[in-house]
Each structure stands twice: as C-alpha cells, then as structure tokens.
C-alpha cells in the first residue's frame, strides 16, 4: 500500500489535503511578479489540444491510502476515490438541486414513502461487468450496516424500511416515514461492485482489507496494483459520460511542504496547492511560467484544536476557555494563510451565515487566562515554571500532521503562548492517517485538525451531538442543551424559525469551547503548469481532473 484523510465527517481532510479554488485578492496581486490571468472554460475543439497526455498532481502525504468509499477518510483519498468510483444515482449541484446521475430522477409514490429509481442502460464497471439493481441494493445494504461511514447517513438509513429490485434496472426504496424529496446525500453515494465485494471481504464491523484492485464506475481506473508512493490512474475508455481527455492522472506524494514545492519548481509535478504569502512569491520567482489561481474550497471547514473530553483536564470547560484566552489565534491566522484567505473562528459557524449569533468570542488575553487558572487552584507549586495542582501538572500532548508547514507554524505559536502562562504542551508529529485514526478511537489528548462543516442540522449532529460520539463527534463532547437544540432543528422546515435555534446553539458552543476554534479557510491557491486548461474559473471550486485538458502552448 501507498506510503502516505483530515477526517472530516463526510467530505476532510486533505487534512484534509482537499483541492478547491478562485481569483487572487488585490493585496496578493501586488506581491506577485505578474497578475494571474483568468482560467476560462475552454472547448477542446476550439484550441490546439494535446491529445491525451498526463497530469501529475503533487500532495503532502505519508502513510497508507484507502480508496474504498466506505473507509476512506483523508481528502486526498476521497479525491482519488471519486475518480475511480464516480457518481451516485443522482448528482447534486452547488445550489443543492438534484439531477440525473447513474439513474433518472426517481418516482415518488405513496406520499413520499415509496421511491422508484430507474437505472440507465449500458453503464459498466471498469472490468466490463454491467451495473444492475443488485449492485445498488448491495451498496445501500453495506452502507447501512457499516455505521462507521457517517452518523448523518445513519440517520437517513434508519428511515429505510426495504430496498428491492423490480427488475435488473429498477430499484424500489420503501421508507418508514414519508419524505417530501429523496435525501440527496444518500442518492449521491457511489455504487459499489457486488461481484467484487460481495464475498465478505469488507466486514460490516468496519474491518477492511483492500487486497484487490479497486473497481468502479468512474472516469479513471487504477493502472497498477498495489500502489506504492505514487497512484497512477488511466482513462476509462467506456465511461458513461464519454472518455476523459487526459490519458492518465498521477498523484505523487511528498513528505513535506518544502519538498513538494521543490518538485513543482523542478517540473516533477504539474499542480500543487499552496497556502502562504511567501510561498506564492517564491514559486513565481523560481518558476516564472507558473500560473497561480485562487479557488474556493470544495467544502467549508474550520481549523481547530480538538480536545479529548475523556481527558481529566481537557474535559473541564474552565480550562478550555483559559486555553483559548491564552492563544494568539490572530497571529496563527496571519502566519499560516495568505492575507485575506481566511477569517478568525469563534465557533463552528462562519461569520457570513445569515443566522449568526452576534459578536461573541474570545480575544487574546493571557493575563485573564492565568487568573482563571489561579482561581481553579492551578499554580507553580514546585517552581519549574509550569502550573500544577495537588501534584498534578497542567500538561497535555498535542498531535499534529507531520510535514505540513502550516501545522508546524500553528503548533509553534500555540506552544509558546501556553508555555508563557505555565501550561506545558508536548507536540507530537504524526502522519495524517494516524491523526485521523487516533481521533476516531479517542487515543489522544489534543489534536490539530481541520473539520469539514456546513451550518446544517446534519453537520451539527455529526460533530457535536452526543449520539455521534465515536463517529463524527471525535471530541467525546456531551452537552444536553446542545443535543436538544440540534434535535429541535430537525423538526423545523422553515429556515427563519430555525434562526433563533442556530443563534442559541452558537452561543452555547462558543461559551463551552468543546474545541479551540482557530480559523475558517475561505480561499486556497493552486500553482500549475500553464498548458493545463479547464480547471475552473477563478472564484469557483476546482473542477474534477476528468474535465481538464492540455493545450500545445500556454494561453
């Protein structure tokens, strides 16, 4: 397996390590040698296109990769899996509107308790086997049994009474309770090959042994197996949407941000993602032909210090609040991201959300943090410079992803800030995969993590509801009032009725600080070879590599 998920609940982490994109702000233009040109959507028939070709995408990652949609957790794993397994029964656009995918739009019967999907004809897996209703039933049965996938999906699956085949191309799904529209998130699940996975290789308990080459319905297939330090995908000649233009998409992995940037400068890779001002300037100086483009992240996410609420110290909300007061989060934001690319996070809900709960939050007040701890009985009793109480030191380990410059800078500032008021932080670098795995089983004190999150009842339930502990709620966080408010949101169809509930939830979470909220990433940047086209317009998300093509010369 490859030497190289941020877990996020349903989408993560390129640590998540996910790609997404946009146009550079004016402040950044002044720092670059030249203004990046807009990336127009090109029609390959109207430009001199290099037939086929290969694109090599560089990533920072170490550890083993898992492509199976049920078990992947890293953003890069999901990115590659989407090219292998493809879409689900339906597609959902950025506005949330469903459209045809592997199936036509479903028929709603019996007031929404009975749904019928008609599969499209002629769709084949990579090995030539046709997709049938049996594959859909197998997929949904397996997802439903393996609750590890996502607590939100589990809620939807609980409402499924029965899944049956009316014929080889028709699937009937009977719900326990009527619903107005079929849950879009269920309909977008990739369909798995029953003929490959039906032998029990993937246990319902979550045990996973991927010993055979993944087979899917997507635009690319795995070219060689097993993979090592590189994943090579080749075009699926029989893809139902028409063969992708590029012959191959190669993912190459590097241990650090610096080695990845060097690989781009040396033209070992065609595209990388970058975060910091200095990196943007250095890349333009070292490789003048490179294009740099701003992109909107595919998933909204917040960066945070996750606390294990099973920890005897970090389960104390007073200590958690003191930690936030003691941390210069604005300095972290300024040092980690390009200026203007992100905003400070006071809670999990982005400041531009329409039901924002006001200007609540924590400023950098180390003196107040120290006074709070003194009131709790924490003082330097043995003269070693660190606080203790009844012989117990105020100390914890902090996991962070190895090789990521942004993570290293965050941990450095945090350690200096907390040491200053007498809290001992022990940084522990681990692979992104190990970080996600240890979060999942609760084997950590604290961890730097990027959490995919949209301000919806689904995501609030997944990340902060006590019923999701051990799944999306990797904090082990329990708060009865938070649970009640989240449950209440599921019963409100009018978004304006939900507004006050969102506001109260935000107040509770900001005050309780279940994790230390650091910042939201609103904009990311990619540097890429100028012959690559159709990546997406500035200000939009990065398109799938299945849509990319090369031209003979840079535009």
Q: State pLDDT tens for residues 230-274.
A: 999 999 999 999 999 999 999 999 988 889 999 999 999 999 988
Domain 301-521 belongs in CATH node 3.10.105.10: yes
Give the pLDDT confidence score for residue 48 in this predicted structure. Answer: 52
Domain with CATH 3.90.76.10 in the chain: 90-197
- Per-residue pLDDT tens for 146-186? 755 566 666 778 888 999 999 999 999 999 988 888 887 78
Sheet of strand 515-521: strand arrangement: 342-344, 515-521, 301-307, 446-452, 395-401, 424-430
| Residue of 227, 259, 248 whose CA lies nearest to 65 | 227
Calpha distance 521→350 (Å, rounded): 10
Domain with CATH 3.40.190.10 in the chain: 21-85+218-296+523-550
Residue 14 has pLDDT above 50, yes or no: no
Q: Whole-model pTM above 0.75?
A: yes
β 532-533/446-452 pair status: unpaired
Q: pLDDT band for position 495 (50/70/90)?
A: confident
Buried b (16+ CB within 10 A) or exposed e, 463-491: bbbebbbebbbbbbbbbeebbebbeebee
State the residue for tokens 């469903």.
98
Range of lowest pLDDT (47-56, 315-324, 331-340, 517-526): 47-56
Calpha distance 454→207 (Å, rounded): 29
Backbone angles phi, psi at 359, to 5 degrees: -90, 55
Domain with CATH 3.10.105.10 in the chain: 301-521
CA geometry: angle at 441 spanning 437 and 447, to 5°?
65
Q: Looking at domain 21-85+218-296+523-550, which CATH architecture does it have? A: 3-Layer(aba) Sandwich (3.40)
Report percent pLDDT > 90 for the chain. Answer: 55
- Per-residue pLDDT tens for 440-466? 899 999 999 999 898 888 899 989 999
Calpha distance 335→484 (Å, rounded): 38
Q: What is the mean pLDDT of the chain?
A: 84
- Per-residue pLDDT tens for 98-117? 899 999 999 998 888 999 99
Give the pLDDT confidence score for residue 148 in this predicted structure. Answer: 54
Give the pLDDT confidence score for residue 217 in this predicted structure. Answer: 96
- Per-residue pLDDT tens for 192-232? 999 888 765 444 444 444 557 889 999 999 998 877 789 99
- Per-residue pLDDT tens for 382-430? 889 999 999 899 999 999 999 888 899 999 999 999 999 999 999 999 9
Q: What is the largest CA-CA distance in the chain?
A: 77
Sheet of strand 54-60: strand arrangement: 21-22, 291-296, 524-528, 271-274, 54-60, 248-254, 230-235, 220-222
Cross-strand pairs, 397:
426
Mean pLDDT, to the nearest integer, of 314-339? Answer: 94
Q: Looking at domain 90-197, which CATH architecture does it have? A: Alpha-Beta Complex (3.90)
């Amino acid at each position: 397996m490859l030497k190289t998920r941020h877990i996020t609940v349903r989408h993560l982490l390129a640590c998540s390590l996910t790609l997404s994109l946009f146009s550079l702000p004016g402040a950044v233009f002044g720092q670059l040698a030249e203004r990046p040109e807009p990336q127009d959507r090109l029609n390959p028939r109207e430009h001199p296109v290099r037939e086929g070709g290969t694109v090599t995408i560089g990533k920072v990652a170490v550890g083993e990769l898992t492509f199976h949609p049920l078990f992947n957790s890293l953003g890069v794993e999901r990115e590659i899996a989407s090219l292998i397994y493809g879409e689900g029964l339906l597609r959902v656009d950025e506005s949330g509107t469903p459209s045809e995918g592997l199936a036509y739009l479903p028929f709603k019967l019996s007031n929404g308790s009975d749904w019928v999907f008609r599969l499209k004809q002629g769709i084949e897996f990579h090995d030539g086997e046709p997709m049938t209703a049996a594959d859909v039933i197998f997929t949904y049965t397996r997802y439903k049994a393996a609750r590890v996938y996502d607590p939100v999906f589990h809620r939807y699956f609980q409402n499924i009474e029965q899944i049956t085949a009316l014929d080889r191309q028709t699937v009937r799904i009977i719900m326990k309770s009527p619903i107005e529209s079929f849950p879009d998130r269920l309909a977008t699940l990739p369909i798995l090959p029953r003929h490959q996975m039906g032998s029990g290789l993937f246990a319902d308990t979550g045990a996973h042994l991927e010993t055979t080459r993944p087979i899917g319905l997507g635009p690319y297939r795995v070219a060689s197996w097993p993979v090592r330090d590189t994943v090579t995908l080749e075009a699926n000649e029989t893809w139902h949407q028409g063969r992708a233009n590029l012959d191959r998409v190669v993912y190459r992995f590097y241990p650090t941000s610096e080695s990845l940037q060097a690989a781009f400068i040396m033209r070992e890779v065609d595209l990388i993602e970058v975060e910091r001002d200095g990196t943007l300037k250095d890349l333009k100086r070292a490789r003048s032909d490179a294009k740099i483009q701003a992109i909107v992240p595919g998933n909204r996410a917040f960066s945070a210090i996750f606390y294990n609420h099973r920890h005897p110290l970090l389960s104390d909300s007073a200590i958690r609040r003191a930690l936030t007061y003691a941390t210069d989060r604005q300095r972290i934001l300024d040092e980690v991201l390009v200026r203007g690319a992100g905003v400070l996070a006071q809670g999990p809900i982005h400041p531009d959300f329409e039901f924002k709960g006001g200007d609540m939050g924590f400023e950098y007040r180390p003196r107040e943090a120290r006074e709070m701890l003194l009131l709790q009985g924490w003082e330097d009793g043995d003269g070693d410079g660190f606080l203790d109480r009844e012989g117990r030191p105020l100390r914890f380990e902090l996991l962070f992803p190895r090789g990521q410059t942004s993570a290293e800078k965050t941990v450095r500032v945090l350690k200096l800030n907390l040491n200053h008021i007498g809290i001992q932080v022990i940084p522990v670098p681990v692979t992104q995969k190990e970080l996600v795995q240890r979060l999942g089983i609760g084997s950590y004190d604290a961890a730097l993590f990027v959490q995919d999150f949209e301000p919806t009842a689904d995501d609030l339930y997944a990340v902060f509801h006590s019923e999701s502990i051990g799944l999306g709620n990797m904090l082990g966080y329990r708060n009865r009032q938070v649970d009640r408010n989240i449950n209440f949101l599921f019963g409100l169809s009018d978004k304006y009725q939900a507004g006050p509930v969102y506001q109260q939830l935000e107040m509770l979470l900001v005050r309780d600080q279940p994790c230390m909220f650091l910042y939201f990433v609103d904009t990311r940047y990619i540097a890429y070879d100028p012959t690559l086209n159709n990546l997406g317009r500035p200000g939009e998300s990065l398109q799938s590599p299945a849509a990319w093509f090369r031209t003979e010369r840079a535009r």
